[in-house]
Structure 1
Amino acid sequence: MPKISRNQPAKKRKREPVTFVDEVTGEEVRVSSVLFGFVMLIAIIVALAAWMGGSMSQIESRFAGFMDDTARMAGVSVNEVSVLGLEQDPGLQQEIRAAAMIEPGENMFRADPYIIRRRVEGTHKVLNVRVHRLWPDQVVIIADAAEPVAVWHDGKEWTVVDGLGRVIPDERAGDHPDLVRVAGRGAPEAAPALVNALADAPDVTGDLAIATRINDRRWDMRLISGATVRLPEDVELTAALGRLTDLQVRTALMQRPLKMIDLRNAGRVYLGPVNPPNFKAREIAARS
C-alpha cells in the first residue's frame, strides 16, 4: 500500500493561454497574440513620430500635405473660388473671398462647404450664404449683400442694422438718413420685423421720429409731433399699426395735440391730450 504524504504540495497546473474563435474564419486566436500586436502597433507609431520629429501633430500635418499633393496630382484640387451675387460691390466680393480662406491648389475634399459658410457669415456683411463644390476643381460662394434696414442708437452712437438684425461693421449711419431709427436693448434683432410691418403702414411711417424697444417685447414710437404711440407686444404689432393707419386716414389722429396714443388693448384706443381738460373749472363755470 503506497504511502501518502499529507504535507506534500499539490502540483501546479500549467495555465493555458486564453483563446477565442473568429466566427468568420473559424481560426483560434490567442489573446496574448492580439495584445502583442497592439503593443507593437503603438511602438511603431511612436517610433514613426520620433523619426518624423517627435510629435503626432507633425505626422498629421505631413499626412495632410501628402493628401493635398495626391489630390493635386489626381486633378481634384481647388483651381477657382467664385463669389456670386456681389458683383455690384467688387470690394465686398474680394473681402468675402478672403474670408472663405480657400486658396487655389488646396485639396477639394478639405474645402468643407459648412465651414466656409460659417467663415463668410462671420463677416456680418452678407445674407443667404450658400457654398457649393463643383467637382473637380471649383468652389462657388453665393451671397446677398446685407441691406441696411434701420439705424440703432446703442446709447453712445448710431450704428446701421441689416435685414437679419445684425449691426453692419464700417457702415456709417449718416449715409442712411431715410432709414427707421430705433433705440433700446434688443432693438437691432427686432428691427427687421418692425420695418416690415411699417412698410404696410406708410401713413404712420411718415410721422415716425424714433421707435424704442421696451422690455424686448414691444415698441414705443415717438412721433414728430412729440406724441408717444404705445404699441402692443410683437404678435399684435401688425394689427395695431393697421388700426393706427385707419384712425390716421379717418381722423388725422397723429396730427392732434396729443401726448400719448395707447394701442396696447385690442378694441380700444386711449388718448392722452397735451393739456387735459379741467373738469373742476367747467363745473364752477356751469354754476356761475
Structure 2
Amino acid sequence: MQSLNFWPLRPRQKGETQADPLFQRAIVPPRGRSLTTIRVPNSREVRKVASRRLRRIELASSRKQRPWRLFALVFMGLSATYGLWSGGQVQKLYEQAENGVGAMAVAAGLGAQRIVLEGQRHASDAEIAGALGANSNTILLGFDTAAAKERLEQVPWVKHAQVMRLLPSTLKVVIEERTPFAIWQNKGKTYVVDSEGAVLAPAVPDAYPALPIVVGEGAAKNASELFATLDMFSNLDEQLLAAIRVGDRRWNLKLISGLDVMLPDDNIGQALTALTDLDDRRGILNRNIASVDLRLGDRVTVRLHEAPRIPAGGPPSQDPELPTASTSAAPPKGST
C-alpha cells in the first residue's frame, strides 16, 4: 500500500482565523508533482448530460419499434383497401373518375359523333351497332378497334371487318358480308348458308327463290363441291329441285319431274356423264321413271313408277328397251 507523506502545516499568522479542520489537513503533494484536480459539474451540465442520455435511449427504443410500426401501418392500409374493394367503393370511385374524364373528352369534341358504315347489305343495323359497341359518349382515343373488329366478325353475315378512327370524332367501319349460296333444310328447320356452310340466318319463305335447296346432315358444308360439278351439266342443273345428303357421304338429286337420281360416294362427274349420255340417246329424264341409280360404276339401273290400275281399254304400252331393277332389256315372253 502506497504511503502518503504529510508535510507540516504552515503556522498560522497573526490575524488569521481558525479555518475548517478539513482544509487545515490538506495533503500537499511532493515537490515536482501535482495533485489531480477533480472538477464537480454544475447543475446545467448535469441536465445536458441527462438529456443526451435520454435521447439516446429514446432513439434506440424507436429503432426497435420501427419495423412493428411499419408492419402495423401496412396492415391497416391493406385492411382499409380490402374493405373499400369488397364494398364496391373502389370500383365506384374509379367509374366516377373515368366518367368524369370521359365527359370532359366528349365535351372537348373527342367523342364518336359520327359512324360511317360501308359494305352492309344483309346484316341489320342492330347487329352492327351492338357488335361495334360505340355511341356518342365513346372516346375515340380510348376505343379498342381490334376488339371491335373481332366482335363484328362474330356477326353471322360478316366475313371480314375493318374499324378505323378518323380523329377527332369519326369512326369508320368497312365490312365484307358473306354471300348467300343455298337454302339448307335440316331437322325441320331452314337456314340460309354460304358456300362454306356457315349459317347466316333463318330462311324466310320465298325470300331467296333463286337459291338451290340442300337437305340433310352435312349438306350445307358439302353443297359447294356438288354444285361446282353440276355447273358442267346445265341440263341437270336447270331441272334440279333439291339435293339430298344421304348419310353425310353421298347425294340424291331430286328433279322437278319427280325423278330421283342416286349418285355414288365419289366420281360424281363420271356418273353424271353416263346419265347425260343415256338421256341423249333415250331421253330417260322425260319418261315415266321413278329413279335412276348411278351408284355402281359399271351399270345404270332405273326403276319405273308402280304400274297403275289397268284401264278398260287395255294395259298401257311399255318401252321394252329400258332395263330396271326387276326386268331386263329383253321384251317379256308373249309380248307382241
Partner of 1:244: 272
Distance, in Å, in 2 between the alignment partners of 1:261 and 1:32 is 94
For the residue of structure 1 that corresponds to 2:252, the secondary structure is: strand
Partner of 1:6: none
Letter in 1 for 2:301: L
For the residue of structure 1 that corresponds to 2:269, the secondary structure is: helix
For the residue of structure 2 that corresponds to 1:134, the secondary structure is: strand
8 Å contact from structure 2 (residues 264, 271) kept in 1:
no
Letter in 2 for 1:175: A
Which one of the candidate residues 39, 42, 45 is aligned to 2:78?
A: 42
Q: 1:285 to 1:190 in 2, by over 3 A?
A: same
Q: 1:200 to 1:73 in 2, by over 3 A?
A: farther
For the residue of structure 2 that corresponds to 1:175, the secondary structure is: coil
Q: Percent of aligned positions with the same letter in both sequences?
A: 22
1:128 equivalent to 2:156? Answer no
Q: Which has the higher contact order (CA 8 A, sep 6+)?
A: 1
User: Which structure 2 segments of 5+ residues have no match?
Assistant: 1-65, 305-323
Which one of the candidate residues 210, 229, 250 is aligned to 1:218?
A: 250
8 Å contact from structure 2 (residues 246, 252) kept in 1:
yes
For the residue of structure 1 that corresponds to 2:223, the secondary structure is: helix
Alignment RMSD, CA only?
4.1
Distance, in Å, in 1 between the alignment partners of 2:98 and 2:223 is 46
Q: 1:47 to 1:176 in 2, by over 3 A?
A: closer
For the residue of structure 1 that corresponds to 2:222, the secondary structure is: helix
Distance, in Å, in 1 between the alignment partners of 2:171 and 2:112 is 7
User: Which structure 1 segments of 5+ residues have no match?
Assistant: 1-29
Instruction: For 1:107-122, list aligned pairs within 5 A.
Output: 107-108=139-140, 110-122=142-154
CA shift at 1:210, angstroms?
1.3
Distance, in Å, in 2 between the alignment partners of 1:242 and 1:43 is 79
Partner of 2:302: 272
Partner of 2:119: 85
1:184 equivalent to 2:216? Answer yes
Partner of 1:62: 96
CA shift at 1:82, angstroms?
1.7
Q: Which is higher, the Rg of structure 1 or of structure 2? A: 2
Instruction: Tell me the TM-score normalised to structure 2 length.
Output: 0.56
Distance, in Å, in 2 between the alignment partners of 1:232 and 1:60 is 66
1:229 equivalent to 2:265? Answer no
Q: 1:84 to 1:251 in 2, by over 3 A?
A: same
Distance, in Å, in 2 between the alignment partners of 1:248 and 1:36 is 93
Greater percentage in strand: 1
Letter in 2 for 1:203: N
